[in-house]
Structure 1
Amino acid sequence: MKLSPSQIDTLKKLISYKGYPEIDLQYEILDHVACKVEVLLEENPTLSLDDAFRKVHSEFGIFGFSDLAESYTKSIERRYRRFFWEEFKSIFTSPRLIYPIAVAFILYWLSINSLFFGEKVGMPVWSGAFTILAVFFIIARYWKANKSMKNYVSYRSSIHSFTFFNLMLQISIFGMRRLENPYYNFDFSPQSILTWLSILAISACFICIFLIPRVLNRSIAETRKLQAIYES
C-alpha cells in the first residue's frame, strides 16, 4: 500500500525524534523505512503507523538507525565532494572560464597601471584586496542561507570545502609575500615557478569561493527530488 502524505509527515517526525533533524538525512532514512512500513501495513492493516515504525526501528538492533544514518551521512558527504570536483573541472571546459581569466587580467592590469596615493600597488596587494572582497561575498551568502539550510548534512559538508580554500589561500599568501616587484618574471626559473604557483592558487581561491554555494544548491536539489517523490 502507498503511504499518504500525512503518514509520510508522521514518519519524518518520528525519524526526527530519534535524533536525526537533518532534512536530507531524514529523507534518505525515510526512503529506506517507508518501504518496510508499507509492507508491514499491507500485511497487517490493523497495525498502527507508530507500531509499524517501532517494529522497523527495532529490526536495526539496539542502536536503531545509527548505522544507517552514518552510512547515509557519508554518502551525502561523498556526493557533495563529487559535485564539487565536477563543478571545479567544468570551469575549464565551459564559458565560465572567462571569469577567472578576467579577474587575473584585471589584477595584472591594476598592478602595472594603477597608482594609490602616488604609489604603484603590486599584484600581491590587489590580489589580497580581491580575496577579502570574495570572502565577504561568501560570508554574506552563507549568512543568508544559514537559516534555511543549516539543517542539511550537505550544508555541513560545504563547510569542509573551506579546507581546500584555506590551502589555496595559504599558498597564495606564501607566494604573494615574495612577489614584490610589479614586473614579474615568467621565464622558466625558481622565481617564475613561484609566480605561476601564486597565480594558480589565487585563481583556485576565487573559483572555490564562487563554487561552494553552487555545489551546495546542487546537492540540496538532489534531496528535493527525493522530497518531491514523497510529497507528491
Structure 2
Amino acid sequence: MKISAAQIEQLYAFTRQHFVEYYDLQTELVDHLANAIEAKWAENPALSFDEILNAEFKKFGVFGFMNVVEKRQGALTRKYNKIVWENCRDFFEFPKVVFAVISFYLISLGLQSIEYASEIYVVIFGLLTLFLLAKTIIESLRRRKKIQKKRNGFSKKSSCGMAVPCRFLCCRYNCSVPFRKMPKQLRTTTHCFMDPVHF
C-alpha cells in the first residue's frame, strides 16, 4: 500500500508540530517515516496510518526528533563555520591587508595632528556602531515581515537553524557562496565596519 499525497502533507505537518522547522530535515524525516509506514503496511495492512506513525515516532525516544535536529545543527554549524573562516582567510590576502593597514595608518596619522583626536575616535566609533545597529534592526524587521508572509502561505524553507559566528571582516565580493543563498543566520548576524553595505 502506498502513502497518498494528503498523508505526505500530514507527515510534514507532524514534523512541524514536533519542532522540526527546516524543510530539508523535514523532508528526510518524512521520507523515513513514509518508508517505515509502507513497510509496516506491507506486513500488516490492517494497521491504520496514525497507529504506525505513533509507533515510528516512539522509536525516536523520549525527546522525539530533537536528537536528529541537534545532530544536523552540529553538522551545519561546522559547515558554516568553515565557510566563515574561508571568507575571513580570503579577506586577509596580501593586497587587502596591506591596503587596510596603510589606510588605518594614514587616518591615524591625519588625526594625530588634531587636538581632539581621541574624542573624534570615540565619535566615529559611536556613529559607526549606531549605524550598524540601526541597519541590523531595519533588516531584522524586513526579514520578519518576509517570514510572516511566507508562513501565511508556505512552509519555512531555510536550510540551517543554528547560531553562526559573526561574519566579521568577510567581504561580500569574495564569498564562495552567493550572499543571498547563505542561510538566514549567517546573513542576520552583526556585520562589521569592513563590509557596511551587504544588501
Q: TM-score, normalised by structure 2?
A: 0.55
Separation in 2, partners of 1:3, 1:20 = 23
**8 Å contact from structure 2 (residues 20, 65) kept in 1:** no
Cα distance in structure 2, aligned partners of 1:46 and 1:218: 46
**Structure 2 CA distance for partners of 1:206 and 1:64, relative to 1, 3 Å:** closer
Match of 1:16 in 2: 16
Unaligned runs of 5+ in 1: 166-204, 221-232
1:218 maps to 2:182:
yes
How does 1:88-127 map onto structure 2 within 5 Å?
88-92=88-92, 108-113=105-110, 121=117, 124-125=121-122, 126=124
Q: Quote the RMSD (CA, aligned, Å).
A: 4.6
**Structure-1 residue corresponding to 2:26:** 26
Match of 1:138 in 2: 136
Q: Percent identity?
A: 24
Name the aligned partner's letter for residue 132 of structure 2.
Answer: A
Which amino acid is 2:19 matched to? Y
Alpha-carbon distance change, 51 to 83 in structure 1, aligned in 2, over 3 angstroms: farther
Contact 1:154 1:219 in 2 (8 A): yes
Q: Give the 3-state SS of the residue equivalent to 1:76 in structure 2.
A: helix
Taking the TM superposition and a 5 Å limit, the aligned residue runs for 1:12-91 are: 12-17=12-17, 19-24=18-23, 25-41=25-41, 47-91=47-91
Offset of 1:57 from its aligned partner?
Answer: 0.9
Displacement of 1:20 after TM fit? 0.9
TM-score normalised by structure 1 residue count? 0.49
d(CA) in 2 for partners of 1:153, 1:27: 11
Amino acid in structure 1 at the alignment position of 2:131? L
CA contact (8 A) 1:80 1:157 kept: no
**Residues 1:154 and 2:160 are matched in the alignment:** yes
Q: Which runs of 5+ in 2 are unaligned?
A: 185-199
CA distance in 2, matches of 1:35, 1:104: 58
| Aligned AA (1:91) | F
Does the aligned pair in 2 maintain the 1:41–1:47 contact within 8 Å? yes
Deviation at 1:54, TM superposition (A): 1.8
Q: Tell me the residue number matched to 2:190.
A: none
